[in-house]
Amino acid sequence: KVKAIDGLSQDERAYLINLVNTKKKYGLVWEDKPEEVEEQLRENLPVLREVKEKAIVNGEDFPNHILIEGDNLHALTALNFTHEGRIDTIYIDPPYNTGAKNWLYNNDYVDKDDTYRHSKFISFMEHRIQLAKRLLSPKGILICAIDDYEVHNVRHLLDEVFGQENRLGTIVVVHNPRGRNDDRFIATMHEYMLIYAKDFTQASINFFPLNDKDIAAYNKTDGISNFNETGFIRTGNNSLRTERPNLYYSIYYNILKDKLQLEDDSNSIKLLPINGKGEERTWRWGKETFQDLKDTELFVRQVKGEYKIFKKRRITNIEGKKPKTVWTESKYDASSNGIMLLQDIFDGKNPFPYPKSFYALLDTLQISTGEDSIILDFFAGSGTTLHATMSLNATDGGNRQCILVTNNENNICEEVTYERNKRVINGYKKPKGETVNALSRNNLRYFQCTYVPRESSLKNKRELTQLATELLCIKEECYNEQKIKIKQAKLFSNARVTLLILFDDHIIPDAVELIKGLDAKEIKVYVFSMGSDPYTEDFAEVLDKVTLCALPDAIYKAYQNVLPKKKRTVPLMEEVSETPTNENGEQLSIL
């Protein structure tokens, strides 16, 4: 039977019964109490407004990095219009929920004595992770930095959202080699990076490039290239004869000719893939590949009186070094390459308490991005992710674009995140006078979240259309405004696309005449409409030149699957069974 719980109303008890009946029996269960920022979305739609005086524009052909000031739940909602399915790498470093006064939930700091501290954290994270997943491209990857306070909960959450099969791995980063002195029992040296793919069948992880020490290990040469050697007997998974019997066969070594062959003769000895323990393993190649490559890629040497076959590992065939699960190098030290680096940028001052190591971010992006990737960090902190993105572009000639999101608590967005990357782009001097060269082949644009009432009245639709300009510029990555004579219209262009925004349907005839004279590869026209029709018939003369889209309908459609319902209701007692049951129909007690 259900036991009454003192202090709970009838509706609250009914809600609790429903929760027990509907929640799955294995996995995370938490109190899904809405945040105030989520409640704001029940009545308002987020849009982005550019702070033009903060724009740093160095060239049309350079990457346009974006910094969004605002709550990341609101920013992620807006990005679902501009970037759904387009982000290649998401890196986040959320609050670690240590109990220190460093994480605000509903405008109150969550301390270590809060009974619902972990529940609040998971609820906070789940809403954002769900939105983030929608932003990832089919090959996209999410990387979450976290430590021991919440790693177990976050891993369960990510397993639930992405599926365990899409968990690519966990990396342990030694970010504090000295150990944390204030730990009571064991000094913590490390934190984690949890890595998930949207679809593991399409995702890939890059190798690290070889350094001078790695290259020096290829210290043999045969006139073709430098190489080192590895045994021709396969080891590890799928290396037993029973697992891959077609790779178990006899190879004959002609001692007089120093030749490997598949045919036996009087001058040959038989070699089999049997290791030192007497286990029947397999060769690395099948017979056909062996025949093709044996003369240049294999050789034989005596080891402890036995002839062994070795394979040449050529430096020209090596993609690089596969990332490992433990990163211990001194460059990952967050003090030396995080705090001290930030002090160098900010004239010896320390404006942010716990910046990540710049090199930890650099290597993370090295393995998770391509030269044209779009990167998102919606817990931007001091802005290390953008700094690393620009540095990586400068190293390999890439064109990566980075989007940062952070609130402006204690002026962090304006005075730390923005200011850091502004100085990096423009160049700066360290406190001792050393000049750090500018990463000037980058643009940075600053946006703030603002809002339009969610009710779809004519007034609100017109206001949303007027405020959609920056969203459309971000969506089409087209910021260069052109002067036109048509009122109630804006025209933007770059080498790829021309963007025409019409704020009133009455100017369509003038817009058609303008379009006739445009010489552009691709023209996208966004036109105000009360419904979903972008006035296709009115553009009949230029339909072969344009792609049409109705505003604000396109924004409403993008938001409809990510916004919370307008009103949140608690189920009434009569809407649920009086007694909660398990999956076998057995009654449960609520204590």
Find out whether 555 and 82 touch, Cβ atoms under 8 Å.
Answer: no
Strands (E), 219-316: 220-221, 226-231, 251-254, 259-261, 268-271, 298-303, 306-314
Tokens of 444: 């940075």
Per-residue confidence (pLDDT) for residue 193, from 0 to 100? 98
Per-residue confidence (pLDDT) for residue 136, from 0 to 100? 98
| Least confident segment among 95-109, 370-384, 518-532 | 95-109
Asked whether residue 55 carries a pLDDT value surpassing 90, the answer given is yes
- The pLDDT tens digits for 404-429 are 999 999 999 999 999 999 999 999 99
- The pLDDT tens digits for 459-497 are 999 999 999 999 999 999 999 999 999 999 999 999 899
Find out whether 536 and 511 touch, Cβ atoms under 8 Å.
Answer: no
Please state whether beta strands 64-69 and 87-92 pair in parallel, antiparallel, or not at all (unpaired).
unpaired
Q: What is the largest CA-CA distance in the chain?
A: 96
Separation between Cα atoms, residue 140 and residue 168, nearest integer Å: 12
Asked whether residue 586 carries a pLDDT value surpassing 50, the answer given is no
Three-state secondary structure of 271-282: ECCECCCCCEEC
- The pLDDT tens digits for 22-41 are 666 667 777 666 788 999 99
Separation between Cα atoms, residue 267 and residue 432, nearest integer Å: 73
Task: Tell me the HSE value of 106 on the side-chain side, using a 13 A CA sphere.
Answer: 11
Averaged over 532-539, what is the pLDDT?
A: 96
Asked whether residue 584 carries a pLDDT value surpassing 80, the answer given is no
pTM score over 0.85: no
- The pLDDT tens digits for 428-466 are 999 999 999 999 999 999 999 999 999 989 999 999 999
Averaged over 361-390, what is the pLDDT?
A: 97
Separation between Cα atoms, residue 115 and residue 372, nearest integer Å: 45
Per-residue confidence (pLDDT) for residue 142, from 0 to 100? 98
Angle at alpha carbon of residue 447, lines to 428 and 441, rounded to 5°: 40
pLDDT band for 112, please (50, 70, 90 cuts).
Answer: low
Tokens of 534: 């972008």
Separation between Cα atoms, residue 133 and residue 140, nearest integer Å: 9
Asked whether residue 4 carries a pLDDT value surpassing 60, the answer given is no
Per-residue confidence (pLDDT) for residue 189, from 0 to 100? 95
- Mention every residue, 6+ apart, whose C-beta is less than 8 A from residue 211: none
Separation between Cα atoms, residue 462 and residue 529, nearest integer Å: 9
pLDDT band for 522, please (50, 70, 90 cuts).
Answer: very high
Separation between Cα atoms, residue 137 and residue 370, nearest integer Å: 13
CB atoms within 10 A of CB 274: 13
- The pLDDT tens digits for 384-406 are 999 999 999 999 999 999 999 99
- The pLDDT tens digits for 293-335 are 999 999 999 999 999 999 999 887 777 889 999 999 999 999 9
For the chain, give the percent of residues with pLDDT over 70: 89
Per-residue confidence (pLDDT) for residue 84, from 0 to 100? 97
CB atoms within 10 A of CB 556: 18
Asked whether residue 591 carries a pLDDT value surpassing 50, the answer given is no
Per-residue confidence (pLDDT) for residue 455, from 0 to 100? 92
Q: Which amino acid is at 558?
A: A
For the chain, give the percent of residues with pLDDT over 90: 76
pLDDT band for 101, please (50, 70, 90 cuts).
Answer: low
Closest to 280 (Cα-Cα) out of 234, 230, 232: 234
Asked whether residue 268 carries a pLDDT value surpassing 70, the answer given is yes
Average pLDDT across the chain, whole number: 90
Asked whether residue 499 carries a pLDDT value surpassing 70, the answer given is yes
Per-residue confidence (pLDDT) for residue 162, from 0 to 100? 97
Averaged over 492-521, what is the pLDDT?
A: 94
- The pLDDT tens digits for 179-196 are 988 888 999 999 999 999
Asked whether residue 241 carries a pLDDT value surpassing 90, the answer given is yes
Q: Which helix (H) or strand (E) holds 130?
A: helix 117-135
Averaged over 519-540, what is the pLDDT?
A: 94
Per-residue confidence (pLDDT) for residue 198, from 0 to 100? 98
